Structure 1
Amino acid sequence: MSDPRLAVFWHEDVLRHDTGQGLFEAPDSDRLEVSERHPENAVRVRNMRSVLMRGSLSEYLTWFQGRHATIAELERVHTPGYIEEVRSLCASGGGRMTATTVLGPDSWEALLAAAGTSLAAAEAVLDGSERVAYALVRPPGHHAQPAQADGYCFFSHCALIAETARLRGIERIAVIDWDVHHGNGTQACFWERSDVLTVSLHMPHGAWGLSHPQTGGVDELGMGVGQGFNINVPLEFGMGDSGYLRAFSEVIDPIVRAFDPGLIVVACGQDASAFDPNGRQCVSMAGFYGLGAAVTALAKACCDGRIVLVQEGGYARTYAAFCLQATLEGVLGVVPKSADPLAFYPDASARGEASIEAARTALQPFWPVLAKH
């Protein structure tokens, strides 16, 4: 067996996206003496990069330069009018596209770098030069819809990868999203498609306004030929390692094996940790390690181990970096060398049965394989 190896793609321009300060993700208030940085800020990925470079995982990583996406590449998923709307707002000095989704004057270069670097990671796997690749990018992308920004997201990186893989001849692609929020943007991009399986494992936050009308419920299954190919597994608040790993093994794993993709794309967020300000779940480093190991086992069974991971959320500006390290250790199958510096909440191992059963019941008519699990 060859030594584990991970290709990491990075572009410095992702740091140029300045989301400013305020009342968490909202605009500033004159009643505050001290405002705080928007949660989606450059610090979180700087720490992720630092932990990967300085930590025990560094010997397994090879770093590659990312690139900017072209407008033609963005148009594989997004409408020309929407792309121009984003570019124009950046050029005019920035502003809010939704109540929480902020652009700065230099954000356009960052958005192109995030999308292009995600595609560069995918191209390395599709070309066969890498088996597993990870794009360390920001802002995230999984809430972005074809013509709608949402939840800090502007361009849908995982959807762009899936469309690119289809153009390169991959017949079926599975997108697995374990960010703590529903991957509504990816869902919207492939709502009426059966060639891309979209899977989202998330807390049950529901819809949150005009930019995010999707609920993430188990009844959102797709439409037309796409019915049954959108998989939502909302997990009750407070879910820890055992619940997440059971949901993966009992629902996601059998469905993806039955779908038999030629490529797995992972929306790789770490905001399901107990210490993330944007999530209400209790996943620890051990849980993220388990998710990484589970997706690798799945990829080896389905698509010769080919995986592209793309950074999504993770807003605990220090702990998220350690959760990322644990995720990638699991992906590579290396023994963890770092103790969890924070986790202390007990893992309620029986928690989540109702959530998992609800998903299984909704999905079994489309995926009979679930009757065996």
Structure 2
Amino acid sequence: MARTQVVIVGGGPSGLLLGQLLFKAGIEAVVLERKTREYVLGRIRAGVLERGLVGLMGEAGVDTRMKAEGFVHDGTQLAYEGDMFRVDFAAHTDATVMVYGQTEVTRDLYDARAATGGDTRFEVDNVVIHDADTDAPFVTFDQYGGTQRIDCDYIAGCDGFHGISRKTIPASVRREYEKVYPFGWLGILSETPPVNRELIYANSDRGFALCSMRNAQLSRYYIQCDVDDHVGNWSDDAFWDELRRRIPAAAAETLVTGPSIEKSIAPLRSFVTEPMRWGRLFLCGDAAHIVPPTGAKGLNTAASDVHYLNQGLCQFYGDGDSRGLDTYSEKALARVWKTERFSWWFSNLMHHYPSQSDFDKKMQLAELAFLRDSPEAQAAMALNYVGLPY
């Protein structure tokens, strides 16, 4: 039987970031991950980092490669009815975002954890959280044919929407809120230069489109598709043809196409569970909440959870003050709901809904025109996009 101060369930970016921040504070943590390191690094995810996450990467001491290879974006492009306008983040908020792939964030965190000798257990199965509502919680799991147990002070559930952490909280305690959107995103990754130096979000009668990037020679593009669609229905040529139809003509003419190196369809949902703490178990990231990818808030909202939990743990282990932990759920949820609102608003603004009436479409266009013409509306969008303060 082993013992540590904090068990982190989930070896994705939020769990690894928390582990690295705790290491910097001299707090012991064991990270449990169901898959292999290579599998985790093979996941394709968003790559727009809010100012808060950029700051946390620096605090964790893992921002060297991000600063060297990431792209600072001080604005974004919105398109509708063949027109395009820019929202200037820097002018409205004096802040920027960083375009740096989530895979690279995870790689940097794994490398840093390995360099510190941090205890990371891969390929664990049958993880069970015990006695989280007592002063003596522990975790059991199977690994390499044997069952192991780790006793701890606290447990951080960073194991995603399908993980066991949220389900450990009794159903009588949890309250869940969910909205499932009637469409998905078909996305491809291609070794081609981005069509624009900034992201383009496009509202089209044919559906939403997004032009994004990972680096100067790696582009990420998305188009709205039917929720029941299948990747096999889309050849590369069909995807590029449809993307051209949804973005402004000037962008379509300069679009460089090529073979896809990854293609997938992602469903969209908004989801929040309350509370985010039960006894000595704390939920972080997708274990507690999901946002549609419009605006790239998933990882960034997980990072804000990590910030609040790290603060609470450092406060407790530093001077015995539990107030940060006691107010964790309240603080985290206050920001989560604001982020959910922005992602919901932005999704409603940019997508075509199957049940959309002519009036609804006119309201979308009026909202976009208002956003185009109103510095105050742009300032509100920019503040949400670069990240609300922690």
Q: TM-score range by the shorter chain?
A: under 0.3
Pick the structure with more strand per residue: 2
- Structure showing greater relative contact order (alpha-carbon pairs closer than 8 Å, 6 or more residues apart): 2
Larger Rg: 2
TM-score if structure 1 supplies the norm length? 0.25
